[in-house]
Structure 1
Amino acid sequence: MSDPADSKTGLAAVAEAAKQAPGRGLPPVHLWNPPHCGDIDIVIRRDGTWLHENSPIGRPELVRLFSTVLRKDPDGYCLVTPVEKLTIRVEDLPFRAVAVAANDGDLDFTTDVGDAVEAGPDHPIRVDTDPVTGEPSPALHVRADLWARIARPVFYELVERAEVQDGRLVVRSRGATFPLGPVGAGVA
């Protein structure tokens, strides 16, 4: 299998653009308005695995790099650089919240691509209910219009930390209250 960063489909340019500002935070993808150059065969599976041409991208550094130039536009998810935009497919949400720590009562999450996210008013937790299974479907806002699916073990940790308020389980972080679901309705 060839290295996805060596592809002639524009992926090499995406990787190069993402490398331009190491140590200076995330690239300003919200400021870039490049022309759409088409689709690229990258899929972020429901379990968080990134695939290129149906093969997992095995280098975590490359996945992290691509995640920094990921953006959600009205027409879908895309990898962007200052000069091109390539649409990718995301089966659920692009990231997974894989760990949580309580620091002085506030909740700090880590995603599967290494983002540190402090839950609070700017990064809310939401819990939807799957219409088919009735199971809770928790998510955490990461940045812009990008969300992380909260992994089941992490959600169980949240439930353990929860308190009851008006018949609902809630967690608090940075002055915000986030409902996890009704007491006894599949979240406890």
Structure 2
Amino acid sequence: MTGKKGVAGFWPVGGYRISFRRDGRWYADDEPIENRKIARLFSQHVRPDGEGGWVIDLGIDRQRVDVEDTPLVVVAVEGDPQSGFRVRANDGIETPLDCETLCVGPDNALYCRLDRGERGVLPARLLRPAYYQLANWIEEDAEGAVLPCKGKKYPLRPCPKRD
């Protein structure tokens, strides 16, 4: 590569087709991005573009991103029904799980929404390990599958349709 490095300290991302796939990995021109620091940086800066799509916004460097499913994935779930659950996403941020946002998508995948401050409340898909960590606590009642948490039962409803 020739030219100047971008403000973020690496080559600007504008010359590549960047994508985030449902497996929770970043890709540049269909090649996996193996550098974990770059992948986390992208995850920490992905945001809605205001037109129904997604961008990585690094200040001066800004790149459109093809998001296959959700812009974030949940990599781990900790906790229990008494104290509540915490989720860690691929951006490295750990937050309480808002059980009201938990829903079931295609192929019985679990989804939730994560508050990311200025970036907004973003949808996230639970990767398989996180799914099974949470599934240990799911119960069946007359209404169907529910997640007990802090004295309440949250029904696992189908996710709303996304455009």
TM-score normalised by the chain length of structure 2 = 0.73
Corresponding residue of 2:133: 157
Offset, 1:64: 1.2
Corresponding residue of 1:78: 55
> What is the one-letter code of the residue matched to 1:71?
R
Offset, 1:166: 2.9
Q: Is the 8 A contact 2:139 2:145 kept in 1?
A: yes
Pick the aligned partner of 2:72 from 87, 91, 95. Answer: 95
Q: Which has the higher contact order (CA 8 A, sep 6+)?
A: 2
In 2, distance between residues paired with 1:177 and 1:71? Answer: 31
Q: Secondary structure at the match of 1:12?
A: coil
TM-score normalised by the chain length of structure 1 = 0.64
After superposition, the C-alpha distances for 1:40-67 in whole angstroms (9 at most, x for unaligned) are: 5111122111112322221111111122
In 1, distance between residues paired with 2:68 and 2:109? Answer: 14
Q: Secondary structure at the match of 1:46?
A: coil
Structure 2: unaligned runs, 5 residues or longer: 159-163
Structure 1: unaligned runs, 5 residues or longer: 17-37, 183-188
Q: Secondary structure at the match of 2:74?
A: strand
Offset, 1:110: 1.4
Pick the aligned partner of 1:118 from 75, 96, 99. Answer: 96
**Aligned 1:29-108 pairs, distance under 5 A:** 40-75=16-51, 76-83=53-60, 85-102=62-79, 104-108=82-86
Offset, 1:146: 1.9
Corresponding residue of 2:110: 138
Offset, 1:138: 1.1
Number of matched pairs: 149
What percent identity do the matched residue pairs reach?
A: 27
In 2, distance between residues paired with 1:174 and 1:82? Answer: 40
After superposition, the C-alpha distances for 1:55-90 in whole angstroms (9 at most, x for unaligned) are: 222111111112222101332000124445321111
Q: Is the 8 A contact 2:24 2:127 kept in 1?
A: no
Corresponding residue of 2:6: 12
CA 136–73 in structure 1, closer or farther in 2 if over 3 Å, else same: same
